[in-house]
Amino acid sequence: MFIRRQFLSVAAGGVVAAALAPRLSLAQQLTQDDVFRDPDAPVLGNPHGDVTIVEFFDYQCPYCKKSYRDVESVVAEDGNVRLIMKDWPVFGDVSVFASQAVLGANEIGAYRKAMDALMATPASLSEDDVKRLLTSAGLDLSEIAEAVQRNDRKISDLLTRNYNQAVAFHFAGTPSFVIGKSTFSGVLGKEQLIEAIRQARAV
């Protein structure tokens, strides 16, 4: 099951008005570039694609892991879709650790390998699981740790922006998607993803 909503209306100049939850001190406006073109967010699929899928996910979310292969498959088969997996670690400290590790791996050119290693597992993880899985994928943990330390502020700021955006969209959990001008909460199957992409292109 999923819930479909229209993306908050776009005003002149491409600004998308998004009032954040009361727990955040200030209201904020999200632009389409904030959501789709964050320079620090890794991009999968076709970086020059005409449609962008943004998925807010957690490495311990069983539904995220279940749908990951469908998302990958649709993006690969289409060939003209950008995919941005936005870490939203809502399942606790291990989820934060996993996000930091994979974003650290991104800094050494191993984002896809690290992500695939963690997304191929059952839902729950420990820090030892994360380390073991990354090592099994052929990654050097010390190199990843150094990359995380070097880029600590960059990674922390990215995770904060992801969190703020998820709250601005009133997402209740993972997975949640932004595709074109629509938002979706919950797992999207292949046909639902294909239809969402089609509608994004039709706008």
HEC profile of the chain: CCEEEECCCECCCCEEEECCCCCCCCCEEEEHHHHHCCCCCCCEECCCCCEEEEEEECCCCHHHHHHHHHHHHHHHHHCCEEEEEEECCCCCHHHHHHHHHHHHHHHCCCHHHHHHHHHCCCCCCCHHHHHHHHHHCCCCHHHHHHHHHHCHHHHHHHHHHHHHHHHHCCCCCCCEEEECCEEEECCCCHHHHHHHHHHHHHC
Token readout for 76 is: 């690969």
pTM: 0.86
Q: According to the model, what pLDDT value does residue 3 have?
A: 36
Token readout for 92 is: 């606790």
The yes-or-no verdict on residue 31 having pLDDT over 50 is yes
**pLDDT, tens only, 79-137:** 999 999 999 999 999 999 999 999 999 999 999 999 999 999 987 999 999 999 999 99
The yes-or-no verdict on residue 76 having pLDDT over 90 is yes
Question: Please, are residues 111 and 158 in contact by the beta-carbon 8 Å criterion?
Answer: no
Q: According to the model, what pLDDT value does residue 21 have?
A: 34
Question: Please, are residues 185 and 173 in contact by the beta-carbon 8 Å criterion?
Answer: yes
**pLDDT, tens only, 132-191:** 999 999 999 999 999 999 999 999 999 999 999 999 999 999 999 999 989 999 999 999
Q: According to the model, what pLDDT value does residue 12 have?
A: 23
Mean pLDDT for the chain? Answer: 87
The yes-or-no verdict on residue 4 having pLDDT over 50 is no
Token readout for 56 is: 């807010």
Q: According to the model, what pLDDT value does residue 28 have?
A: 54
Average pLDDT, integer, range 5-10: 32
Q: According to the model, what pLDDT value does residue 30 have?
A: 83
